[in-house]
């Protein structure tokens, strides 16, 4: 009888640990959100039905939020309403970091999900990737210090990370195949750090929300 009671106690303890999540030592995923829809109103962001960000204006990027790994439902609503404009169900990996971008004009708003590099760049070097989230800029060339490093990049592209020496660079976003510059910026990158250079804004919404580069530090 004692043996039966002991086994029963172990089973009950196992059930309680599982129910409370104590049996899973895997780290959560980390998720941040960038509001990059230039004509959209402020938004609320929900993860699995729980509001995690409230009344987020363009072009705000949140801090990283800890989110349970696995299949999650991410919803973006017009702030203060039940009107859902984005509803996606990504599968997030334990320990990974992500940037979710609300992109395109509000009539065609969509989610771009980027997996962020979390390891340090080599000493003296930085990693930089480009995300094209400017809906009416058309395909573009990315020019760094006068050299084309990415060509004919369409809207919605999330490039691989490029490794380059730490320092300050002149960056131009040109209409693809031309010398017509839509965005010009100075980009300073630090040793050991990862960055996302996100083209946001719009010709249509200028000068309120003009074409520009928003630089995010990743990981």
Strand partners, 174: 141, 181
Same domain, 168 and 107: no
Same domain as 87, residue 176:
no
- pLDDT confidence of residue 24: 59
Same domain for 162 and 145: yes
Domain that holds residue 176: 119-219
Q: Do 189 and 146 fall within a single domain? A: yes
Band of residue 13 on the pLDDT scale cut at 50, 70, 90:
very low
The per-residue pLDDT for 25 is 76
Global pTM value = 0.88
State mean pLDDT over 41-58: 98
Whether 170 and 203 share a structural domain: yes
The whole-angstrom separation of Cα 55 and Cα 41 is 9
C-alpha R_g of the chain: 21
Residue 15 lies in a domain: no
Count of structural domains within the chain: 2
Torsion from C-alpha of 135, 143, 97, 119, nearest 10 degrees: 180
Query: Do 94 and 126 sit in the same domain of this protein?
Result: no
At 137, is the pLDDT very low, low, confident or very high (cuts 50, 70, 90)?
very high
For 170, the 3-state DSSP assignment is strand
Q: Verify that 78 and 136 share a domain, yes or no.
A: no
Residue finishing a domain among 116, 140, 156: 116
Task: Say how far apart CA 185 and CA 75 lie, in whole Å.
Answer: 33
Q: Would residue 18 count as lying in a domain?
A: no
Compute how many other C-beta atoms are within 10 angstroms of the C-beta atom of residue 62: 16
d(CA 70, CA 89): 10
- Does any domain span residue 3? no
Q: Give the ranges where 38-186 is alpha helix by DSSP (H).
A: none
Last residue of a domain, one of 82, 101, 116: 116
Do 170 and 197 belong to one domain? yes
Choose one of 73, 91, 116: the last residue of a domain: 116
Residue 215 has a CB neighbour count (10 Å cut-off) of 15
pLDDT digits 0-9 by tens, 75-130: 999 999 999 999 999 999 999 999 999 999 999 999 999 999 999 999 999 999 99
Report the alpha-carbon distance of residue 91 to residue 170 in Å, rounded.
Answer: 37
C-alpha to C-alpha distance for 185 and 215, rounded to whole angstroms: 10
Q: Which of 114, 112, 174, 166 is nearest to 138 (CA)?
A: 174
Do 129 and 218 lie in a common domain? yes
């Amino acid at each position: 009888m004692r043996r039966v009671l002991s086994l029963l106690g172990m089973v009950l303890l196992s059930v309680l640990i599982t129910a409370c999540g104590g049996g899973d030592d895997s780290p959560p995923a980390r998720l941040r959100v960038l509001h990059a829809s230039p004509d959209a109103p402020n938004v609320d962001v929900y993860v699995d039905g729980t509001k995690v960000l409230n009344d987020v204006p363009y072009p705000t990027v949140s801090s990283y939020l800890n989110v349970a790994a696995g299949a999650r439902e991410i919803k973006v609503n017009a702030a203060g309403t039940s009107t859902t404009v984005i509803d996606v169900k990504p599968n997030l990996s334990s320990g990974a970091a992500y940037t979710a971008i609300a992109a395109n004009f509000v009539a065609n708003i969509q989610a771009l999900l980027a997996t962020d590099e979390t390891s340090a760049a080599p000493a003296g070097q930085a990693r930089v990737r480009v995300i094209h989230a400017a809906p009416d800029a058309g395909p573009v060339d990315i020019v760094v210090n006068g050299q084309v490093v990415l060509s004919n990049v369409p809207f919605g592209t999330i490039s691989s990370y490029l490794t380059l020496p730490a320092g300050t660079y002149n960056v131009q976003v040109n209409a693809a195949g031309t010398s017509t510059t839509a965005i010009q910026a100075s980009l300073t990158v630090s040793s050991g750090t990862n960055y996302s250079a996100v083209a946001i804004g719009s010709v249509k919404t200028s000068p309120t929300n003009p074409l520009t580069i928003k630089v995010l530090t990743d990981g």
